[in-house]
A and B are shown apart, each in its own frame.
Chain A
Amino acid sequence: MNFWNLYGHKLLVAIGVHFLYVLAAVSIGFVVALTLGILLSRVPSIAKMALPLISVFQTIPGVVFIGLLFLSLGMVPATAIVALAIYAVFPILKNTYVGLLSVDKSLLEAARGCGMSKMQSLFEVELPLALPSIIGGLRMSTVYTVSWAVLASMIGLGGLGEFIYIGIATNNNALIVAGAIPSGIMAILLSLLIDAVKKRITHAPQKEASAA
């Protein structure tokens, strides 16, 4: 009770800020990743070299990265969002690329044979068929981003991480839990939401297609 009186308002704000970081970062990451993924899938020879390079990026510790961005961009929310968006890109990019490339070659030929242009084939056949894979990547990115967003507070940008860091610094377990639980719940709720969306927009029979 006491805790709620003391921190309740701050916690709600932190949850809101955290969520906005995730939303902004994943949205930006999604658009970038989708575009890159589509482009790379058109030129698999380049993609074979580019993808490992990008994945190396991914292994740079988040702290280092945010620190560097902080130095160049300063203490603005954009710093956190850009950093998180970059991390959000890779799972979606990889799944988009793999999803597009795993579309059955005979279907591409059927699309051409039916007189579809390259764009029509992409938007009407390839992307719809890669969608389950792309959404899988989106889900992964979202869950990661929720936990990475904790880092934002390191540079004083708020979010649920603030509770955790203050809790650790002041040896206050209640604060740590107050930061950790909402971010855990946020991750679970968002991934459930994405699963629900995926179910809605991919047709039932496609389960077979993606399993094959």
Chain B
Amino acid sequence: MIRFEHVTKKYGDSVILDDLSFEIKEGEFAVLIGPSGCGKTTTLKSINRLIEPDAGHIYVNGKDIAETDPVKLRRSIGYVIQQIGLFPNMTVAQNIGVVPKRLKYEKSEILKITRELMDMVDMSYDEYGHKYPSELSGGQQQRIGVLRALAASPPIVLMDEPFGALDPMTRSSLQEEIIRLHKKLHKTFVFVTHDMDEALKLADKIIFMEGGHIIQMATPEEMLENPASDLIRSFMGKRAADSAPVQLTAADFMRPNPISVYKNRGIRECTEIMARRHIDSLLIKNDDDTYAGVVSVNSIKRSGKTTGPIGEVPLSENAVSYVTEDAMESFDKLLNSDKDYVVVLNEDDTIAGIVTKTSMAKAMADALWGDAQ
């Protein structure tokens, strides 16, 4: 759909785009990301010829855009500029209708499109259509900016940090909306951001740029798993820890120092401990501190005993992991067992901790959102 071949752009002596080659496929949601000044906007503007490269070729739908009329080209490519750029002298409806009007759509057709689009972002035409941009909130203006780019139903939509200046709540709801629009409209989106969270949330493909080069082009998963440089890693912050989740061990996720008692403790004493700590089972250890098993309130009840050492109650067999074991494996054991936790043992069979469903949830949260609690 969009193909860059050895595209170079210079301003004076400084090379802004350095021999860029890449391809964005039809229907893809591509996100350009990278530090400020790395050439994201320049790349984007090259696609609708707001900027002409010094060397190389850009193809849209197989046609070299250098040979197309720039005005016509721009009418077939939606564009959301970095500063929103709604025309203050036009109403919301007129702003949305700018490109269709250029393309000589019927008035009634433009009205219909405008209504439909505004409905899609929950801003009714009747309420907002005749307002001026300065009468809208920042988030509403951003929405209209996106709608304006979509109005003539262009197959490609370029968006330059469209949600840049928004508070996190509005931003995240607009992100949801843009994902919905992309799913619904099946267009090729090229989206610029410098926010990795946004990129991971939206992208089918992330294009990471630095100093006019593409450092990595990958799906969000690939980039999380194998960031190609330290810069990308730092952009992803906690999300891509130095080792990916697969390399983490049971020890990383277990709850250390679970409550455990020696076999010869009295049954009554044990039930008291459980009551006091609000737990329904205890880890039992042998005299040499090695793990012996688990005793639960239920098994004590079923044994009918109220006195004597706890070791006389039948122990249940919880799944066991060793501290060095892959965390994924102990999660699997936990999922496949009917127990609430997996017991984690040190190399010498002493008790190290337990892996519960909560630790598993925390691990997933960490992997997905960084340092979540």
Residues of A within 8 A of B (CB): 104, 106-107, 109-117, 120, 124-125, 128-129, 203-206, 208-209
Counting CB contacts under 8 A, is B132 at the interface?
yes
A-B contact pairs, 13 of them (CB 8 A): A106-B84, A107-B87, A107-B88, A110-B86, A112-B74, A114-B74, A114-B148, A115-B102, A124-B90, A125-B89, A129-B88, A204-B132, A205-B134
Chain B residues near A204: list those with CB within 8 A. 132
- CB-based contact B102/A116 at 8 Å: yes
Chain B residue at minimum C-beta to C-beta distance from A111: B87
> Distance in Å from the Cβ of B49 to the closest Cβ of chain A?
9
- CB-based contact B132/A106 at 8 Å: no
Chain B residues near A107: list those with CB within 8 A. 85, 87-88
Known: A112-B50, A115-B71. A106 touches B88 (CB 8 A): no
Counting CB contacts under 8 A, is B291 at the interface?
no
> Distance in Å from the Cβ of B129 to the closest Cβ of chain A?
14
> Distance in Å from the Cβ of A113 to the closest Cβ of chain B?
4
Cross-chain contact of A203 among B81, B82, B85, B132 (Cβ < 8 A): B132
Given contacts A113-B81, A206-B132, could you give 10 more A-B pairs where the C-beta distance is less than 8 Å? A106-B84, A107-B85, A109-B81, A113-B79, A114-B99, A116-B71, A116-B102, A120-B102, A125-B87, A129-B87
> Distance in Å from the Cβ of B204 to the closest Cβ of chain A?
24
- CB-based contact A110/B81 at 8 Å: yes
Give per-residue flags for B120-164: 1 if the beta carbon is below 8 A from chain A beta carbons, else 0.
000000000000111100000000000010000000000000000
Chain B residue at minimum C-beta to C-beta distance from A209: B88
Chain A residue at minimum C-beta to C-beta distance from B76: A115
> Distance in Å from the Cβ of B69 to the closest Cβ of chain A?
10
Give per-residue flags for B14-50: 1 if the beta carbon is below 8 A from chain A beta carbons, else 0.
0000000000000000000000000000000000101
- CB-based contact B89/A114 at 8 Å: no
Chain B residue at minimum C-beta to C-beta distance from A127: B89
Chain A residues near B135: list those with CB within 8 A. 205
Cross-chain contact of A110 among B87, B89, B134 (Cβ < 8 A): B87
> Distance in Å from the Cβ of A100 to the closest Cβ of chain B?
13
Cross-chain contact of A205 among B98, B102, B132 (Cβ < 8 A): B132
Chain A residues near B133: list those with CB within 8 A. 205
Known: A106-B85, A128-B89, A129-B89. A117 touches B71 (CB 8 A): yes
Distance in angstroms between the alpha carbons of A69 and B98 in the assembled complex = 49
- CB-based contact A109/B50 at 8 Å: yes
Distance in angstroms between the alpha carbons of A133 and B86 in the assembled complex = 20
> Distance in Å from the Cβ of B4 to the closest Cβ of chain A?
19
Chain B residue at minimum C-beta to C-beta distance from A126: B89
- CB-based contact B99/A106 at 8 Å: no
Distance in angstroms between the alpha carbons of A115 and B87 in the assembled complex = 14
Chain B residues near A128: list those with CB within 8 A. 89
Known: A106-B81, A205-B132, A208-B134. A113 touches B48 (CB 8 A): yes
